[in-house]
Amino acid sequence: MPTLTAEQLDHFDTFGFLAVDQVFDPEEVIDPVMDEYASVLDTLANELYERGVITDRYADLPFAERVCKVYGESQQVHAQYFDFSLPQKGIRADTPFWAGPAVFDALTHHRLLDTVECFIGPEIYSNPVQHVRVKVPESIAPRDADGNVIYGATPWHQDSGVVNASADDTDMLTVWFPLMDTDAENGCLQVIPGSHRGEVLTHCSGVQGLNIPSSILPGEDTARAIPLPAGGCLFLHRKTVHAALPNLSDRIRWSFDLRYHPPGQPTGREAFPGFVARSQQDPDAVLHDAAKWRQMWLDARAILSDQPDPEYNRWSLDDEVCA
């Protein structure tokens, strides 16, 4: 049974994005994730307290307030503790990550996959380019020596531009959803409608990561912010130019950033493990076990910690548009 209308799919084809306000029930999907991450934050706070980085565990505070206190006092970004992916560089045998059962259940939730199926068909692979992002208000965020927020607004980019060129023809769909209501004040995403019809643009290295320089950025004056409620999703074409606004509110912005495509197509980050999330052709290939998913990431960490960093950036720092 289709979950999207022809008009919605036509909007995606025309503009390269589609916002859907209610894809799943937040109580069913998001609440267990929040409960799971409360334990992750508890572990982080205890570690920082024992090392003398913070003077209080802030154990009585709810997650949002507690993570603000921990980030604010430590003046450090601890994103890797929460992420269900590994960093691109400097992986150690003990590099933290979180691949818990509630996260796995969210990635493979039937309502989410039903909607993904509308875009790419019934054969669905969960791409390992995936992140959770907990962004505290910029007023208390850790900053570098130049005063730049370390983990702040995400610059303009295309998701095809931040993976290897091997995935240029992969029918990759980005699914972004907030774990709490988001708006322009606390840093929702913004998109440039129709930008998916162009090429994969050159990306340059900057303070917040790879970005499309303003000299070649198409249609920035047409950018549109996309607020979403918890339970809603933003679906993006792999070449749609998008960014995240800064969090200028007094609350956190917490989101999942996922990718899906048909099995057998390159992921653009082959050193990391993906899995078959749905298949009519080969139901036995579908991964249902959250513990096995976690073990795949543990195995990848062990391998990558013992070898040189893979190369994920296709772009040259000497490109003239990056000067």
pLDDT on residue 270: 94
65 vs 292: CA distance, rounded Å: 33
pLDDT digits (tens, 9 = 90+) for 87-111: 999 999 999 999 999 999 999 999 9
The DSSP output letter for 6 is H
Scored b (16 or more CB within 10 A) or e, 231-261 reads bbbbbbbbbbbbbbbbbebebbbbbbbbbbb
Which pLDDT tens digit goes with each residue over 186-209? Answer: 999 999 999 999 899 999 988 788
Structure tokens at 167: 């995935």
Q: Which residues face 243 on adjacent strands?
A: 190
Burial profile 286-313: b = 16 or more Cβ within 10 angstroms, e = fewer: ebeebeebbebbeebbeebeeeeeeebe
**φ, ψ at 85 (rounded to 5°):** -150, 170
Q: What is the pLDDT of residue 2?
A: 62
Q: What is the DSSP string of 232-248?
A: -EEEEETT--EEE----
Dihedral, CA of residue 80, residue 156, residue 24 and residue 1, to nearest 10: -130
Q: Which one of 2.60.120.620, 3.40.50.720, 1.10.3720.10, 3.50.50.60 gives the CATH number of domain 6-28+104-322?
A: 2.60.120.620
Summarize pLDDT for 111-134 with one digit per residue, the tens: 999 999 999 999 999 999 999 999
Percent of the chain at pLDDT exceeding 70: 99
CA quadruple 215, 217, 219, 222: dihedral, nearest 10: -110
Check residue 206 and give its pLDDT.
81
Residues (pLDDT < 70) of the chain are: 1-2
Question: With the C-alpha atoms ordered 100, 181, 189, 206, is the resulting torsion angle positive or negative?
Answer: negative
Q: Give residue 86's Cα distance to chain centre.
A: 12
- Tokens read off for 105: 């259940």
What integer pLDDT is reported at residue 56 of this predicted model? Answer: 97
